[in-house]
Homo-oligomer: A and B are copies of this chain.
Amino acid sequence: MIEPFDDTYFMQKAIQEAEMAFEKGEIPVGAVIVIDNKIIARGHNLTETLTDVTAHAEMQAITAAANFLGGKYLKGCTLYVTLEPCQMCAGALYWSQISRIVYGARDIERGCINLKTKLHPKTKIEGGILEDKASDILKRFFIMKRNLN
C-alpha cells in the first residue's frame, strides 16, 4: 500500500527547511509539526540571523503550531526534526505535551537523549528517519565552514 504521508515524507519536509537554513549560513536544522497528516508549522534554525540562541527550528515550530491551533498544548501533534532536539527544545516540548517526536540524526553530545532531558509522560520519541540525509547536510555545512576559514 502506498502511504503518501508517512514519517519519511514529513522528514523530507523538515530536511527542506534545513536546506533553507543552510542557504542562510545557519547550522542546517529544520522542523515541521504535523497533526492529522497536515503540516501546521515549519521552522528552521535562525540563531545567527536573529542573533538569538533561542531561535532553534523546533522552538519556532512549537510557537507557530500553538498559534495555528489557538492553544498552547500540542496534543495529537508530531514534531519532525532533522537533528535530535537539545535540552532547550526538549524542555519546550515537555511543556507542550506533544504526542510524538521524530528526529533524523542523533546529537550525541548536546542532544536530549544522552543529557537525559525529561519529556512529558505522554510523549513518544524515535529517531533514525532519513538519518543519513539529515546528517549529510550538517556535514556539508561544517566542511564548507572549515574551508571558508
Contacts and interface: CB of A to CB of B under 8 A. Distances in A.
| Interface range, A side | 20 to 34
A117 interface: yes
Interface string A53-93: 11000010011001100111100000000000011111110
Contacts of A96: 53
A6 interface: no
A51 interface: yes
- Give this chain's copy count: 2
A91 B117 contact: yes
A66 B52 contact: yes
A147 B99 CA distance: 32
Interface string A109-141: 000000111100000000000000000000000
A9 interface: no
A50 B68 CA distance: 12
20 contacts: A48-B72, A51-B66, A51-B67, A51-B72, A52-B66, A52-B67, A53-B62, A53-B66, A54-B54, A54-B59, A54-B62, A54-B92, A87-B88, A88-B89, A88-B90, A88-B94, A89-B91, A90-B91, A91-B117, A117-B117
